[in-house]
Amino acid sequence: MDTSVPLHLQQRKFVSNGMLAMIFFLAAEIMFFAGLISAYIVNRSVADGMPSIQQPRLPVEITAVNTLLLIISFATLLIFSKKFKSANSSRLFLLLTIFLGLIFLSVQGNEWVKLLRFGFSTHTSIYGAFFYTLIGAHAAHVMIGLILLLYLFLKLQKSTSFDNAKNKIAVCSLYWYFVVGIWPVLYVLVYLN
């Protein structure tokens, strides 16, 4: 009578390794943005006339519309992740999310070029330095998020395992939710104050 336990018994993990890694990574990113935001707030409170009257006004209206597009991308990714059953029709929501992210990044880049033409740069003032650092850090995160979403789209084309696909969707979505979630904070602090 053989009473040995098979070696291949697996316990179901509460959180996948990929999700755990993403949670730790995002915790570090939250601290990174918290440091930038707190430095901005402190410098703004002690600086005379930040932002300066001589500098061009920031594009508040177009950035508000752009913010709305980014928030819609949150919703489209959420719909995609809820409806995903390896059906191609739900992948259109993922493509829409990527498209909205590309529009957001394009509009931000266009606005940066206009501001630079007006003479607003990192050397103009401490406000300019903080503007480009905060908004630039976010833009870099949007680019990384778009790469992750494109990776996800390509992986789902080849994926045969529903559980594996769901895990990839959860990990990539969490990163995008962070990118979208931090933007309204930056928009209010930098553009509206």
Q: How far is C-alpha 131 from the geometric centre of its chain's CA atoms? A: 17
Q: How far apart are CA 160 and CA 165, in angstroms?
A: 8
Amino acid at 159: S
Q: Report the pLDDT value the prediction gives residue 87, as an integer from 0 to 100.
A: 57
Please, what is the average pLDDT of the chain? 87
Q: Report the pLDDT value the prediction gives residue 53, as an integer from 0 to 100.
A: 61
Q: Report the pLDDT value the prediction gives residue 164, as an integer from 0 to 100.
A: 76
Quick one: which of 103, 117, 118, 112 has its CA closest to 65? 103
Q: Report the pLDDT value the prediction gives residue 3, as an integer from 0 to 100.
A: 60
CB 140 within 8 A of CB 112: no
Taking the domains of the chain in order of start, what are their residue ranges?
17-192
Overall pTM > 0.75: yes
Mean pLDDT for the stretch of residues 69-93: 85
Determine the topology of domain 17-192 in CATH: Four Helix Bundle (Hemerythrin (Met), subunit A) (1.20.120)
Q: At what angle do helices 126-158 and 17-46 cross, to 10 degrees?
A: 160
- For 58, left (φ over 0), alpha (ψ -120 to 50), or beta? beta
